[in-house]
Structure 1
Amino acid sequence: MNTLQVELGERSYPIHIGANLLHQPDLLRQYLKTDKVVVITNQVVDVLYAALLRDMLDGVSVEFVVLPDGEQYKSLASFESIISHLLEIQAARDTTLIALGGGVVGDLTGFVAACYQRGIPFIQMPTTLLSQVDSSVGGKTAVNHPLGKNMIGAFYQPRAVIIDTMTLCSLPKREFAAGMAEVIKYGVIYDDSFFRWLEENQQGLKGKNQALLQQMIHRCCEIKADIVAKDEKEHGLRALLNLGHTFGHAIEAEQGYGNWLHGEAVATGIVLACEVAQRKEWMTESEVWRVKTLLGAFELPLTAPTGMGYEQFVRHMKHDKKVQDSRIRFVIPTGIGSAVVTDEVEEALLKDLLNASS
């Protein structure tokens, strides 16, 4: 097991990464405030891993809230249903929530934890690659709204993140690929040597080699922990983690949440951001080709949905959280390993790019 720390003063917490951590009850129990626990999960994960977690919590008063599976359930309705359950069982501030699942479960559980009685402890136990490398770390919690993704939420840090890499063995190929979009993002914005490592080890990663997976997840969490420690509430540096997300969130909203996986939309968004960079001469053609090739190696989509052009993108991007003074801001690479946040993307460039991609 590898452990690293998210350094946030009194709100610092560990990230544990390793195989079979769902078989180590002492690891989890040290982070329980009392013996009162509510586990939030979904129908798919419940079948796969709820029994293991029940064994880990033997002797603890535990309730399970099982949600339907899908991005469309990351909603205010689901938020309200969990809050109602907590009120019905008279959960108090000494109750610990555990998010067992992917990004939807983690984001939703964190938002509930932030709001219920103005804050109760929660633990992240992510089971998808995307949640292990990204959404479980950093304290961003939220639900979606029909007019925009993650527009209702709070910054609220977990007590710990426990990542059992064996859960990736049950992850469908499409879900694993979606997580790789977020992995590749880290290389593009922050670490060119990590990007090269991904290029060199893609076959082993596709085969879910445990040693490679743990090394990859550790590096992603290390990068994110470093960024979050420097800019917890996204006043500057942390915004770079949104590479591909301005375009990607627009795709998700336009297509209907759940029709494109988040990572699939982000992959296309990364390609569009790189193509903006190439047109502005911030990236070379060969660098853009390398990014497309690596994303394509995991069979991720590289072009926007058919019929989705400039007008459709802009309608949704105007609701992006990075908008300032009515100007849409984008994360644009300046080469592999670096990126900037900018509102200097000309309308004519966007129209030409997005209408051509549709």
Structure 2
Amino acid sequence: MPEITVEIPVNETSYTLKIEKQLLNKAGKEIAQIFNGSKIMVVTDETVHGYYGETVLNQLKAVGYDVQCIVLPPGEQTKTFSSMPDIYSQLIESGLTRSDLIIALGGGVVGDITGFAAATYLRGISFVQIPTTLLAQVDSSVGGKVGVDLPEGKNLVGAFYHPDLVMIDPLVLATLTDESFADGMAEVIKYGCIKEQAFFTHLAECSSRSEIMEQIEWVIETCCTIKKEVVQADEKDTSERMLLNFGHTLGHAIEAYYNYEMYSHGQGVAIGMVELSKIAEEKSLTKSGTTEKIISILEKHHLPTQLAEPKDYAEILSYIKKDKKNFEGSLNVIILDEIGKAQKYKTDGQFFDSLKKGGTTS
């Protein structure tokens, strides 16, 4: 039998994250440093377009680009596979080719769905992330995870596809609602939980949005540095990168069960971190008192720590069976040894069984 071996060298990928106040006002010049083509499609949502769309489009046009724009409805409900055909149609109608560029201007939803479009349109076209929410700036815009949701669960269709550049302007956070800002703080706190005890302690000493904003560039840089190191060690999310999923297994299930309408991503993750740590403490897997510390910091930053209707867990847990972190019949959950130190723990769906009784004991 003839045998043919196809050897493909590993594609070494690198890109820059730029964190600077007023960076949005230099969008054209920054893009010109990494893109010498002529045509750009900016993908954004209605809310962000109202705040920043004109600024970015004018900056790009000022340096000579042919710029067009797709404006999507805001919210997680947009990030579905059913949204893709219309996006592809608009890319085709605009005449976008593989030598052109797509820019994602928005929060995590816009970044994820735009990145997925870039990864799949014409089998791959370059794109740039300009995240406008705290959650997107510290998490979803970095690391190359792009995708969309299915009715059965969150991010079940997607790809690993890195941007050519990530432009982070902390000043755009001024237009976020307090709820959206708190949403991002859940991910910020997560980084302290899994990797940096000193960072966690510092965040716990801050009790307001204004205190965080006074040091926002450092906060964003700290989170992005942690994520960069984890992603570089495990791009495809099979080992070290799984640590970034602390609280997400249950959080994603909560989001999906309520059709992405009752709990935001950060709220789901916050509840997930608390419930997971409670269970792990009860099983003597996590240092006693850890959950109390997590609850305290989440409450300071106006995030929920428990489900409004704990009886719903009986049905919510069915979504965990569809989680991407299921491998060969086992579920990988991320638990904390203590604040600042996390590990992957192989178990099964029964790990969460105590929640079926209406939540873990406080």
**CA distances 1:317-350 after superposition (whole Å, capped 9, x unpaired):** 0000011122322111111011122233682x62
Distance 1:20 1:244, change over 3 A: same
**Aligned partners of 2:325 and 2:298: how far apart in 1?**
25
Amino acid at match of 1:268: I
Distance 1:184 1:93, change over 3 A: same
Is the CA contact (8 Å cut-off) linking 2:184 and 2:266 kept in structure 1? Answer: yes
**Aligned partners of 2:149 and 2:262: how far apart in 1?**
14
Q: Higher mean Cα deviation, 208-217 or 56-65?
A: 208-217
Alignment partner for residue 335 of structure 1, among 333, 338, 348? 338
Distance 1:354 1:193, change over 3 A: farther
Alignment partner for residue 146 of structure 2, among 128, 131, 141? 141
Cα deviation, residue 308, structure 1: 4.2
Distance 1:27 1:305, change over 3 A: same
**Aligned partners of 1:329 and 1:163: how far apart in 2?**
32
Unaligned runs of 5+ residues in structure 1 are 1-7
Cα deviation, residue 276, structure 1: 1.7
**Max Rg structure:** 2
Partner of 1:85: 90
Cα deviation, residue 210, structure 1: 4.2
**CA distances 1:191-238 after superposition (whole Å, capped 9, x unpaired):** 1111111112343xx116544111000000000001111100112000
**Aligned partners of 1:44 and 1:261: how far apart in 2?**
17
Partner of 2:130: 125
Cα deviation, residue 33, structure 1: 4.0
Amino acid at match of 1:106: G
Is the CA contact (8 Å cut-off) linking 2:290 and 2:339 kept in structure 1? Answer: yes
Partner of 2:112: 107
Partner of 1:284: 287
Q: Higher mean Cα deviation, 70-79 or 127-136?
A: 70-79
Is 1:217 the counterpart of 2:210? The answer is no
Q: How many residues align?
A: 348
Partner of 1:32: 35
Amino acid at match of 2:246: L
**Aligned partners of 2:296 and 2:339: how far apart in 1?**
13
**CA distances 1:291-320 after superposition (whole Å, capped 9, x unpaired):** 110011111111124054443132100000
Q: Map 1:298-313; keep pairs closer than 5 Å.
A: 298-313=301-316
**Aligned partners of 2:323 and 2:329: how far apart in 1?**
10
Distance 1:327 1:314, change over 3 A: farther
**Aligned partners of 2:139 and 2:356: how far apart in 1?**
27
Amino acid at match of 2:215: L
Is the CA contact (8 Å cut-off) linking 1:36 and 1:60 kept in structure 2? Answer: yes
Percent identity reads 40
Cα deviation, residue 286, structure 1: 2.4
Amino acid at match of 2:83: S
Partner of 2:178: 173
Alignment partner for residue 248 of structure 1, among 238, 247, 251? 251
Alignment partner for residue 260 of structure 1, among 258, 263, 268? 263
Is the CA contact (8 Å cut-off) linking 1:188 and 1:333 kept in structure 2? Answer: yes
Alignment partner for residue 101 of structure 2, among 92, 96, 111? 96
Cα deviation, residue 170, structure 1: 0.4
Partner of 1:182: 187
SS at structure 2 position matched to 1:253: helix
**Aligned partners of 2:212 and 2:349: how far apart in 1?**
43
**Aligned partners of 1:305 and 1:315: how far apart in 2?**
18
Is the CA contact (8 Å cut-off) linking 1:168 and 1:208 kept in structure 2? Answer: no
Is the CA contact (8 Å cut-off) linking 2:151 and 2:256 kept in structure 1? Answer: yes
Is the CA contact (8 Å cut-off) linking 2:107 and 2:136 kept in structure 1? Answer: yes
CA RMSD of aligned residues (A): 1.7
Q: Higher mean Cα deviation, 132-141 or 311-320?
A: 311-320
**Aligned partners of 1:310 and 1:252: how far apart in 2?**
12
Amino acid at match of 1:289: E
Partner of 2:3: none
Amino acid at match of 1:78: S
Distance 1:189 1:345, change over 3 A: farther
Is 1:63 the counterpart of 2:68? The answer is yes
Cα deviation, residue 244, structure 1: 0.7
**Aligned partners of 2:313 and 2:94: how far apart in 1?**
49
Distance 1:337 1:354, change over 3 A: farther
SS at structure 2 position matched to 1:334: strand
Partner of 1:269: 272
**Aligned partners of 2:182 and 2:347: how far apart in 1?**
31
Cα deviation, residue 126, structure 1: 0.1
Partner of 1:16: 18
**CA distances 1:64-87 after superposition (whole Å, capped 9, x unpaired):** 000000100001122221111111
Partner of 1:158: 163
Distance 1:303 1:83, change over 3 A: same
SS at structure 2 position matched to 1:292: helix
> TM-score scaled to structure 1, two decimals?
0.93
Cα deviation, residue 26, structure 1: 1.5
Amino acid at match of 1:156: Y
> TM-score scaled to structure 2, two decimals?
0.92
